Structure 1
Amino acid sequence: MSSCFTIFLSLSFSSFFFFVFVQNFSAEAAPTYLEHFCARISFFIPNSTYESNLNTVLSSLSSNATTSTNGFATATAGQDRPDQAHGLFLCRGDVSISTCSDCVATGKRDVLRLCGLQRVATIWYDECMLRYDNRSFFSSFETKPSFTTPNTTNVTDPTRFAQVLGQTMDNINRRAPNGGSGKKFAVEEANLTSLQKLYTLAQCTPDLTPFDCNRCLRDMISNFTQDKQGGRSFTLVCGVRFELFPFYNASAMAAPVPPPSRLPLPPAPETRPKRKSNKSTVITITTTISVGGFIIILFLTCWMLQRKGKRMHEVFKVKGDENELTTVESLQFDLATIQSATNDFSPENKLGEGGFGEVFQGKLPNGQQIAVKRLSQSSRQGDDEFKNEVLLVAKLQHKNLVRLLGFCLEGDEKLLAYEFVPNKSLDYFLFDPQKSDQLNWPLRYKIVYGIARGMLYLHEESRLRIIHRDLKCGNILLDSEMNPKISDFGMARIFGVDQTQASTNKIVGTFGYMSPEYAMHGRFSVKSDVYSFGILLLEIICGKKNGFYDQFDGGEYLARYAWNQWRDGTPLKVLDPAIMDSNSRDQVLRCLHICLLCIQEDPAIRPTMATVVLMLSSNSITPPSPRHPAFFVQSKARGLGIPMEGLGSDQSTSRIKLLSNNNLSLTELYPR
């Protein structure tokens, strides 16, 4: 009853509390990371004059962001040119000063962590951009580097869509260079159909001339693929975006309402006795009925909200999670919306089925394509998996991680709505003899690098340190451009800032990808994920699962076969025939070298994901020689091995043993 009373009070003052909540939530929400660029051409020495000047510039920009009315400021520090530091920030034209300030403060922290000692760096968020350089770049026309990220969903009427998009983009391209209030910013809506609108946005840094702004916007617009339902393209001095849903704050762009004119007051009426009439009686009765009806509606609403929210609180209400409820409530979908989007989970919309339920394709009312994960009601780990994915993925934003759009908890239904990724998962292509030919070596290398970048974000670059614990080919989704997106965070764990490893009594994961220390002793860390990445990389190189193969000499497992070929000086034997004609020999051997380093038995000598990314992107780094790795194999004797629980659905009854360097089985221990 107390919760009903709370809802009653909340609804009674809804107009006030709603706007306060929206403003506070917007101000407190973390900025959405898009991209960063570190020019690897010049570095500064720690504690040098340039570092001091750079800190001065960043502090000045952060301070200016708290008062800037046009969301833009520049700063310069230092007298001598080699040590001068120059910087600027640009906030999206519709965001509030507090949101702008928070974004710049976050950018100041993140860019220094991401770019280290490099003198030239830029970081982009959905809400702002922060940039610094050791040369003066103000008012310069620069279109490189540039980034374009299209929506993965095609439009239904390409001709009509291209016509409306072209006209709307032309309009904002003309308006933005001459935008008012010190901003070169414009937004516009256009009707595609009677039920669907197109929303567009364009912005330049205010220091550009109108001519250069117009030229930059034209260049960015030309990058778009006009058969997609949305996309954005941005560079150092301008950016454009279009979607089929409102992604900007339209009210912030509305013209202020003029104050009412001061008209003379009418003369006071004559004072005279008033007669009672039936009018007051009618008003009293009408008011009483209205108030009574309003109270009934409030209590009915309370009852419905309690019934609807009961399941959500059952799942999320654990010690310390009350603050998390505020965050996740904003992502909640109605069951009716999901049912309508998926045609009531029709078989025709089913995309696949995993260890914890089915996945369906759907379309929201705004036209956005989604993938709905429907957790199985019989799953013993369903609630934990569900809660883990919502609380973790909602806080993670990276182009190589699948994006969570929302969730639904009603009755027995547990639903997760993700961005729709059209090309299924990596194993769909990699392990199919016909489809694997589509994955040439340059494409596989692109996928490997994207996975490594996503894992680096989880381990070091996000606000949380995340251990995935189930990295495998089946959890790598591929978008329309075959960019990889890491998915399925149901088994992931958060680490503290200073935490390096943890232990568990319940081993979860997938056979063949688990590190020795995790499978044998229940110890996991970032190095456990590195081991899984090494196995995944090996499978991409070989085009085979890390399982037992009779065609290998004497029959052996893929990882052992790869090591034996490396040791014997014939590493190219392990290559997938599908990439023999398109591979770069040196690059493939380097990747195989990195793979063997990742699957070392001792976690301490495995590289971090930061080192892996560096070795993948730079040939100047010479990897150390790998030692004999550890291998897990499936025991054929029922009396040997460790019974594993919570493994992938295809390996739920597997037993494993650890082989030493001389192929002797070691003592098998239950996890501590």
Structure 2
Amino acid sequence: MDSPFRCFLLGLGYTLCIFTLFAGVSSQPLGQLCPNTSTYAPNSNYRANLNLLLSALSSNANRQNGFYNATVGGRNASDAAVHGLLMCRGDVSAGVCTTCVGDATVAVLQRCPNQMTATIWYDYCMLRYSDVPLYGRRDQSSVILILRNAQNDSQPERFMQSVRNTLDQVVTLVANDESPDRKFATRETNVTGSESIYCLGQCRPDLSGLDCQTCLSSSIQQLQIPSLGARTITSDCNIRYETYSFYNSTAASAPPPPPPPVPIRPPPPPTGEGNSGNSSSTVIIAIVVPIVAGFILFIAIFCFMRAKKAKKQITTTEQTDVSGISTEDCLQYDLATIQVITDDFSPERKIGEGGYGSVYKGKLPTGQEVAIKRLSRNSGQGAQEFRMEVEVVAKLQHRNLVRLLGFCSEGEEKILIYEFVSNKSLDYFLFDPEKRHLLDWSKRYKIIEGIARGLLYLHEDSRLRIIHRDLKAGNILLDGDMNAKIADFGMAKIFGVDQTQGNTNRVVGTYGYMSPEYAMHGHFSVKSDIYSFGVLLLEIVTGKKNTNFSDPSGVQDLLSYAWKHWRDGTPLGILDPVLGESYSRNEVIQCIHIGLLCVQEDVDERPTMANVDLMLNSYSATRSATREPAFFYSGRSEPKGEESDKSKSKSMPWSINEMSITELDPR
């Protein structure tokens, strides 16, 4: 083959190689680990569970922190459990992560066709699965993948000393990262005026800081050979350095560029050919220059369009998911994962049922027990209320508020995932003739204080001002220590910083707990929540429901009953008889007084939650005079609003509830 044609092929091959690198056509793994210590049969239960696991991992690769773990199976001895996790490089976008993990789920089955344990590494992600638990546990195999640039630096010792110093800084940054969902850092060091070192380190976020530091330190020991660039990769961490910027300093919108290629020089002309060498050079220039120029122009246009498209993609991914719900503070689960942890919504997992749907007990791959609320299609909670509950509760963090851990919205399925609260709801104990004795006065007072603290947080201390609008005994959950947790925010309203009240033509909630101004005119504010708190407080003291109230004296409702005894100087006459003599007289009287203050008809006369909290903690303080409560059931006022005659509650004959989801059954 003559020299000009050979050089043309070399140049063309080089051009095609660069095009492949830039365009990202080649998506090959860096390596994989497929130990043959244990294998599975193609039609086995393990393979079926593995398919479900890989589907769950692929569906959850768009997480903001680029990390996700799951477990499929393990319900019994014959149901082989498969544990898996994924981790994407900390500087890549959710779109790049999703693509990489999708490639990995396909390639890992091809490269590790029947191994029960496998790990596959790409430039932008890592995927791993095993028949033993992985989450929070270091990999004991000590397998390290090492990749090096073959070129040596002209001053290896000085250069490598700078590399070691920079890598040590990265290790410190990564291991000390206190963020619960990432352990990732980059560092740049200038070696000379024109030469810099770029370093990147990352650990799995489920590992402890000590395990992370140990892994990275061990990996650095493999990078002592002088090289212009190198990396080590394990199942737990990875660390890398180069003399060019290979990572994105901000959220990535496109894969970073590859390292500069080593120039390919044309071979010298054969000896004795005279002027044919110059002729060959002329031909080479005539062929290569147009190709290179056209290639550079093409790459510039391609990179610009790709960056623009990826930027748009990451913006959309970070703000909302497909259901239109902001996922910044809340995790979205795919339906397959929910089906796995509930045994496909099996009856054995069901722990509650009501007009809103059913509640199932499950366990996340992390081992945390959760309550999974699956809304029925005729529950009355539409997309707007569902979105409100997810977005509101996800932003609230308080010991007296139930924690929303995640949600699922696929097709007509609307599912909420809460922390599991072991002692069910307050009404499960308070209004049950046999269980109410389990609530002695000290427990009741503790519950009252917890509800007050939770409302104070909602009204004044959280980053949002939240009006709950459906506070009642059924929406107060109790944990193992009988701490109160306010639940169900499907009807909640967010107020601006300077906003004090709002109006609505769509009155929702449970009558008997609604303030008169809200039930009749649609006016709601923090004071309407305080009215509901007052009703709830009197229910806790008396052990009687405000709805469907009956008393031999002929009093028609709980508020009238409490006010009559207060006015006649016999407040202790309303105390729940099951308490006997084991109560604090001052605390009981103070609670009755607070309850009556909260249910006054004049909105301005009701205290704030800050006042309530103060009175609960100093019952010897001077008491404000209370006035006659709003006799909502005395026949003087009738509720108005377009929802007032709709959907009778299934569990409260005298309670009208437009949103049956708020009728939370015991968990």
Distance in 1 between residues matched to 2:538 and 2:603, nearest whole Å: 18
Number of the residue aligned with 2:206: 246
Residue of structure 2 in register with 1:255 after alignment: 216
For the 8 Å contact 2:371–2:419, the answer to whether it is kept is yes
Query: C-alpha separation between the residues in 1 aligned to 2:634 and 2:390?
Result: 34
Q: Say if 1:496 and 1:576 are closer, same or farther in 2 by CA, change over 3 A.
A: same
> For residues 573 and 413 of structure 1, what CA distance do their matches in structure 2 show?
49
Secondary structure in 2 matching 1:433:
coil
Distance 1:428-1:654 versus aligned 2 partners, 3 A rule: closer
Q: Deviations over 1:87-142 (max 9, x none)?
A: xxxxxxxxx9xxxxxxxxxxxxxxxxxxxxxxxxxxxxxxxxxxxxxxxxxxxxxx
Which amino acid letter does the alignment assign opposite residue 390 of structure 2? V
Once the two structures are TM-superposed, the CA of residue 585 in structure 1 deviates from its matched residue by 0.9
**Distance (Å, rounded) in 2 between the aligned partners of 1:252 and 1:559:** 60
Q: Secondary structure at the match of 2:423?
A: coil
Q: 1:574 is matched by which residue type in structure 2?
A: I
Give 1:195's aligned residue.
133
State how 1:114-263 maps to structure 2 within 5 Å. Answer: 194-195=132-133, 246=206, 253=213, 254-256=215-217, 257-258=219-220, 259-262=223-226
Distance 1:382 1:13 in 2: 45
- Pick closer, same or farther for the CA change 1:250–1:503 going to 2, 3 Å: farther
For the 8 Å contact 1:448–1:537, the answer to whether it is kept is yes
Measured in 1, the distance between the counterparts of 2:441 and 2:269 equals: 96
Q: How does 1:619-638 map to 2 (within 5 A)?
A: 619-633=619-633
Deviations, residues 595-641 of structure 1 (Å, cap 9, x unaligned): 0000010111100011101110123532201111102228699x997
**Counterpart position of 1:531:** 531
Paired letter, 2:465: R
Separation in structure 1 between the aligned mates of residue 23 and residue 528 of structure 2, nearest angstrom: 47
Cα distance change on mapping 1:373 and 1:548 into 2, 3 Å:
closer
CA contact (8 A) 1:337 1:364 kept: no
Q: Separation in 2 of the partners of 1:314 and 1:366?
A: 25
For 2:470, the equivalent position in structure 1 comes to 470
- How far residue 365 of structure 1 moved from its aligned partner, in angstroms, is 2.3
Deviations along 1:134-155, one digit per CA (max 9) or x if unpaired, are xxxxxxxxxxxxxxxxxxxxxx
Note the aligned Cα RMSD (angstroms).
4.1
- Which of structures 1 and 2 has the larger relative contact order (alpha carbons within 8 angstroms, sep 6+)? 2
Give the match's secondary structure for 2:418: strand
Q: Cα distance 1:364–1:270, how it changes in 2: closer, same or farther (>3 A)? A: same
Instruction: State the Cα distance separating 1:518 from its structure 2 match.
Output: 0.3
**Which residue of structure 2 lines up, in the alignment, with residue 285 of structure 1?**
none
What pairs with 1:319-334 in structure 2 (closer than 5 Å)?
325-327=326-328, 331-334=331-334
Report what 1:439 is aligned to. 439
Post-superposition offset of 1:269:
12
Shift, 1:334, TM fit: 1.4
C-alpha separation between the residues in 1 aligned to 2:374 and 2:396? 21
- The whole-number CA distance in structure 2 between the counterparts of 1:387 and 1:10 is 39
What's the CA shift for 1:247? Answer: 7.5
Are the counterparts in 2 of residues 508 and 645 from structure 1 also a CA contact under 8 Å? no
What amino acid sits opposite 1:486 in the alignment? Answer: I
Contact 1:511 1:651 (8 Å CA) reproduced: no
Q: In the aligned structure 2, how far is the partner of 1:325 from the partner of 1:14?
A: 31
Preserved contact between residue 541 and residue 592 of structure 1 (Cα < 8 Å)? yes
1:327 partner letter: E
Query: Kindly tell me: are residues 314 and 539 of structure 1, through their superposed partners in 2, closer, same or farther at Cα, counting changes over 3 Å?
Result: same
Offset of 1:552 from its aligned partner? 3.2
Distance 1:523 1:360 in 2: 36
TM-score by length of 2: 0.53
Paired with 2:646 and 2:62, the residues of 1 have a C-alpha distance of: 46
Relative distance call for 1:376 and 1:247 in structure 2 (3 A) is farther
Aligned to 2:111: none
8 A contact 2:596–2:626 mirrored in 1: yes
* 1:277 counterpart residue number: none
Which residue identity is paired with 1:261? I
Q: Distance in 1 between matches of 2:597 and 2:584?
A: 20
| Alpha carbons of structure 1 residues 249 and 343: separation in structure 2 relative to 1, 3 Å | farther
- 1:408 Cα deviation from its structure 2 partner: 0.7
1:420-569 alignment runs, 5 A limit: 420-569=420-569
**Does 1:411 pair with 2:385?**
no
* 3-state SS of paired residue (1:359): strand
Closer, same or farther: CA 436–546 of 1 in aligned 2, 3 Å: same
Does structure 2 retain, via aligned residues, the 8 Å contact 1:514–1:532?
Answer: yes
Q: How many angstroms apart in 2 are the aligned matches of 1:550 and 1:263?
A: 86
Moved more, 549-558 or 602-611: 549-558
Specify the alignment match of 1:350 in structure 2.
350
Separation of aligned partners in 1, 2:269 and 2:346? 73
Query: What secondary structure is seen at the aligned counterpart in 2 of 1:632?
Result: coil
Q: Gaps (5+ residues) in structure 2?
A: 1-21, 29-60, 67-89, 91-130, 139-204, 230-263, 271-309, 658-667
Query: Partners of 1:399 and 1:644 in 2: how far apart?
Result: 36
Could you list the per-position Cα deviations for residues 49-93 of structure 1 after superposition, in whole angstroms to 9, with x for gaps in the alignment?
xxxxxxxxxxxxxxxxxxxxxxxxxxxxxxxxxxxxxxxxxxxxx
CA distance in structure 2 between the aligned counterparts of 1:400 and 1:248, rounded to whole angstroms: 29
Shift of 1:351: 1.6
Residue aligning to 1:365: 365
Instruction: Report the alpha carbon displacement of residue 246 of structure 1 after superposing the two structures with TM.
Output: 3.0
**1:343 shift after superposition:** 1.2
The answer as to 2:572 corresponding to 1:611 is no
In the alignment, the residues of structure 1 paired with residue 336 and residue 63 of structure 2 have an alpha-carbon distance, to the nearest angstrom, of 29
Question: Are the structure 2 counterparts of residues 351 and 496 from structure 1 closer, same or farther at C-alpha, using a change threshold of 3 Å?
Answer: same
The alignment of Structure 1 onto Structure 2 pairs a total of residues equal to 390
The offset of 1:549, in angstroms, is 3.9
Instruction: Give the letter aligned to residue 462 of structure 1.
Output: S
State the distance in 1 between where 2:388 and 2:554 align. 43
Where 1:551 maps in the other structure, the secondary structure is coil
| In 1: Cα distance, 2:464 partner to 2:542 partner | 33
SS state at 2:524 partner: strand
Q: 1:263 to 1:495 in 2, by over 3 A?
A: closer
- 1:365/1:11 Cα in 2 relative to 1: closer, same or farther (>3 Å)? farther
Return 5+ residue gaps in structure 1 as ranges. 1-8, 16-21, 28-95, 97-192, 201-244, 275-301, 317-323, 657-672
**Cα distance change on mapping 1:361 and 1:396 into 2, 3 Å:** same
Could you tell me the percent identity over the aligned residues?
54
